[in-house]
Amino acid sequence: MNTEKRTAIYSTLREGMPAPTTELNYKNPFELLIAVILSAQATDISVNKATDRLYPVACTPEAILALGVDGLKPYIRTIGLFNSKAENIIKTCRILIEKHHSEVPRSRDELEALPGVGRKTANVILNTAFGEPTIAVDTHIFRVANRTGLAKGKTPLEVEKRLTKLTPDEFKLDAHHWLILHGRYVCKARTPLCGECPIIEWCEYKKKASA
């Protein structure tokens, strides 16, 4: 796929979603961090239900740390892997208080040093909370990038690097959200809605399907 086609894809996605953002509910970088940690192998809807219960009670590192692991679990019990996530969140809150003055750090290395935070989570925080042109590759983006031909790769990291290299600069800030929302609602894993796809004209998956 050449630059012209990539530009056409992103331009079309931008027309349909001029101001894309995460579907996770949050009011500040800390709330987003906790929500993204909870979102691993969970839907945004289930995370929002949990944080809607949690944040009115505890929405700062100090308040969540005060709950402790056992106090936090009832709020997130409906989310997969809630036991390990509760432990990671409590550890993260302690580190934020002790090392970062209760603020979410803005560097990748410091973010990835937090328990429960990997490269994908760090990219989400850097992009959505701090406006950095990072692209977090989840299962949706991995699928869309490979299926359309935007950036093919065998691993999420390989796809991320290719997307970062090949995405024109004007689209990098919002590319993450355009691709994840397109994958979530249109370019679905089992039954892609090709008949409703606004970028089907440039999609390599269409060519394979019709061959």
Q: Are 136 and 57 in contact (CB under 8 A)?
A: no
Q: How far apart are CA 160 and CA 137, in angstroms?
A: 6
**183 touches 144 (CB < 8 A):** yes
**With contact defined as beta carbons under 8 Å apart, do 104 and 96 qualify?**
yes
Burial readout 161-199 (b: 16 or more C-beta within 10 A, e: otherwise)? ebbbeebeeebbbbbbbbbbbbbbebbeeeebeeeebeb
Q: What span, in angstroms and rounded, lies between the C-alpha atoms of 178 and 48? A: 20
> Alpha helix locations (H) across the chain?
3-16, 29-38, 44-54, 61-76, 82-100, 108-112, 119-124, 139-148, 156-166, 172-185, 204-210
C-alpha gyration radius of the chain: 18
Q: Which of 85, 120, 165, 207 is catalytic?
A: 120
Catalytic member of 70, 109, 138, 169: 138
Does 120 participate in catalysis according to the annotation?
A: yes
* Catalytic positions, written as ranges: 120, 138
